[in-house]
Amino acid sequence: MSLADKIENKSALVGVIGLGYVGLPLLRAFWQAGFPVIGFDIDPSKIEKLKRGDAYLKHLGDNFVREMAASGPRFTATADFQRLGEPDAIIVCVPTPLGSHLEPDLSYIERTADDIAKVLRPGQLVVLESTTYPRTTREIMLPRFEAKKMSCGKDFFLAFSPEREDPGRKDHNTQSIPKLVGGIDPESGRIATSLYSKAIQKVVPVSTAEVAEAAKLLENIYRAVNIALVNEMKIVLTRMGIDVFEVIDAAKTKPFGYQAFYPGPGLGGHCIPIDPYYLTWKAREVGLPTRFIELAGEVNRAMPDYVVERTTLALNERAKSVKNSRILVLGLAYKPDVDDVRESPSFELIEKLEHLGAKVDYNDPHVPATHAMRHHDLKMTSVALSPQMLAGYDCVLIATHHAAYDWQLVADHAKLIIDTRNATRGVTGRRDHIVLA
């Protein structure tokens, strides 16, 4: 039976490599659509949790994994990458971080492509979903597969389809977000489009993998540039004594030509702080600068320093130095109401304040303890919140505006509040101890 036929009758085994914030919801989407699925991950603890039906991504809910684990042979999870020859379709959702000099780190893609190439067989479809610069699918993955003496578009199929996950979002999910699909060749694009259309409500085919790769970068660069704009506006307007959040609320009353973006303590997440530099790096390869993108990056990367400066000045005005001050950071996750700490500016804020001699704790109802990351290892646990605890700190720094926080409680008992998210806008009573940053 051909791959097209297997996709049509949903007997194709769909494999997903990388069972994190992108791969796990995608695996479930295909499982819900009726396909047999197999998940691959290098972390054995994830595999064991999946087999038990335990959720390790809390924002997805307790039943997200449990239902799959109870479905018998239609769901499998493994750390054995030699089994990559089994799936009819392999979808790659591995990290694409930056190196120490803001250069793309494609090592995860390269290793995964090598693992697939070892067992690649005729009739398989491979789709890369990891965000990367244009031509990665063609230049990194394709040569490894063609070395097997098989022809793309005939013996095997290769495409790119960018992930568009937004952890914690309630109005959209994996199935409802339109899916871009671009093939290395027309037949690969057609096969990949057919597969995704069985699990995703709307699939948008584009002419090439390069178009799909570039579209994903454009989406995230658009956000990064506009966030940099409001971050710079915040600095300027604060110096003028103008509330930038009120300005944004005023501007967004215009029904056309404007979209509201909001400032913060820095960029976080798996896309916005990283993806623009993938295009910047690739542009240098063709001899062109990306001045606009790089300037936006400079503004956004400088925001943690701005917040620390505002904190230092606010403490100084109260005859208190940063050194030996007790500071509580509220929110470790990069966005509200999730446990996702990837690239969160809170880590940098804590490290910078500790470097200045402050004694820093954090509270996050979604992140009970920190774990080792590529660039940070705080070895901290979340402290409990109470009126007495809040009153014991010289400063409370709001880094993430989780809905679980009682901002009135914070405002009533904290000595000094540095609010980077305008979280305290609705509190009543005295506000002279609240500093927007």
Last residue of a domain, one of 188, 210, 232: 210
Q: Has residue 142 been placed in a domain?
A: yes
Q: Are 160 and 137 in contact (CB under 8 A)?
A: yes
Kindly state whether residues 26 and 166 are assigned to the same domain. yes
Q: Which residues contact 398 (CB under 8 A, 6 or more apart)?
A: 330, 331, 410, 417, 418, 419, 420, 421, 423, 424
Give the domain CATH number at 190. Answer: 3.40.50.720
For the packed helices 291-301 and 209-239, what is the interaxial angle rounded to 10 degrees? 50
Return the half-sphere exposure (C-beta side, CA atoms, 13 A cut-off) of residue 83: 16
Same domain, 315 and 205: no
Residue 237 forms part of a structural domain: no
In a domain, 201, yes or no: yes
Last residue of a domain, one of 210, 242, 275: 210
Q: Do 200 and 316 sit in the same domain of this protein?
A: no
- Domain-ending residue, one of 186, 210, 234: 210
Q: In terms of DSSP bridges, do strands 179-183 and 89-92 run parallel, antiparallel, or are they unpaired? A: unpaired
Using CA atoms, how far residue 426 sits from 265, 335, 409, 423, in Å, is 20, 19, 12, 8
49 with 180, same domain: the answer is yes
Name every residue whose Cβ is closer than 8 Å to that of residue 428 and which is 6 or more positions away in sequence: 408
> Same domain for 27 and 172?
yes
Pairwise CA distance, residues 330 & 347, whole Å = 12
On whether residue 98 sits in a domain, the answer given is yes
Distance CA 401, CA 330 (A): 8
425 and 323 share one domain: yes
For 121, the domain range is 3-210
How far apart CA 181 and CA 312 sit, in angstroms, is: 49
Task: Please check whether residue 215 lies inside any domain of the structure.
Answer: no
Q: Is residue 185 part of a domain?
A: yes
Do 46 and 148 fall into the same domain? yes
Residues annotated as part of the active site:
271
83 plus 200 within the same structural domain:
yes
Of 108, 62, 404, the residue nearest 274 (C-alpha): 108
pLDDT score for 173: 87
**Are 14 and 130 within one domain?**
yes
CB atoms within 10 A of CB 9: 10
Task: Categorise residue 331: left if φ over 0, alpha if ψ from -120 to 50, beta otherwise.
Answer: left
Domain assignment of residue 198, yes or no: yes
205 and 310 in a single domain? The answer is no
Q: How far apart are the first and last CA of the chain?
A: 61
- Beta strand segments in 147-287, E: 157-160, 179-183, 203-206
Q: Are residues 166 and 57 in the same domain?
A: yes
205: Cα separation from own chain's centroid: 24
pTM tops 0.75, yes or no? yes
- The secondary element (H helix, E strand) that includes residue 352 is helix 345-355
Tallying the residues shown for the chain, one arrives at: 437
The structural domain count of the chain equals: 2
pLDDT, averaged in runs of 10, over the chain (437 residues):
95 96 94 96 92 82 82 92 97 91 91 97 97 96 96 97 86 92 98 98 98 96 95 96 96 96 89 84 89 92 97 96 97 93 94 97 96 83 96 98 97 97 96 95
From CA 279, how far away is CA 257, in angstroms rounded?
26
On whether residue 297 sits in a domain, the answer given is no
pLDDT for residue 192: 98
